[in-house]
Amino acid sequence: MNAAKRYEIFRRLHEDNPEPETELAYSTPFELLIAVILSAQATDVGVNKATAKLFPLANTPEAIHALGVEGLSQYIKTIGLYNSKAKNVIETCRILVEQHGGQVPESREALEALPGVGRKTANVVLNTAFRQLAMAVDTHIFRVSNRTGIAPGKTVLEVEKKLLKFVPKEFLLDAHHWLILHGRYVCQARKPRCGSCRIEDLCEYKHKTSDD
């Protein structure tokens, strides 16, 4: 795919949604960090239902750590893998209190040192909470990048690096949100909704579908 096509793709996505946002509900960097940790192999809707009960009662590292693993589990047991997530969140809260003054660090290295935080989670927090240039590649973004031809790659890291290289600079900060929303609602896994796609004429996917 050439640069002109990529530019037009992101120009249209920007035109349709000038200020894209994550669908995870949060009001502070800490709440976002916890929500993203909980969202692994779970839906944003499911996470939001759990955090809607949790955050009004405990939304700081100190408060959630005080709940303990069993206490936290009661709030997140509707989410997949909740036992291991509860352990990771409690340990993450302990580290934030003891090593970071209760604040979410703004560096990749410090974030990835937290239990339950991998490269993708760190990228979401850096980009969404701190507005740093970072590209969190999930299954939706990986699929859209390969299927459309925007940034094909065999691994998540390869796609991440290509997106950072190829997405026009003026759109880079919000590209993660546009791509994930496009993959979630239009360029879906089993049957992409090509007939309703804003960028169908620019997409290089060879097996276009109708919406019938």
Catalytic residue among 85, 138, 169, 206: 138
| 93 has binding-site annotation | no
Hey, what are 39's tokens?
């969202």
**Whether residue 44 lies in the annotated active site:** no
Catalytic residue among 49, 77, 85, 120: 120
Cβ–Cβ under 8 Å, residues 108 and 100: no
Cβ–Cβ under 8 Å, residues 38 and 47: yes
- Determine the Cα–Cα distance for residues 192 and 92; give it in Å rounded to an integer: 38
- Determine the Cα–Cα distance for residues 17 and 184; give it in Å rounded to an integer: 15
Q: Where are the alpha helices (DSSP H) in the chain?
A: 3-16, 29-38, 44-54, 61-76, 82-100, 108-112, 119-124, 139-148, 156-166, 172-185
Long-range Cβ pairs for the range 66-71 (8 Å, 24+)? none
**Whether residue 174 lies in the annotated active site:** no
Cβ–Cβ under 8 Å, residues 9 and 150: yes
| 194 has binding-site annotation | yes
Cβ–Cβ under 8 Å, residues 182 and 165: no
Hey, what are 191's tokens?
């049957």
Task: Cite the annotated binding site by residue number.
Answer: 187, 194, 197, 203
Task: Cite the annotated binding site for [4Fe-4S] cluster by residue number.
Answer: 187, 194, 197, 203
Positions annotated as catalytic residues are: 120, 138
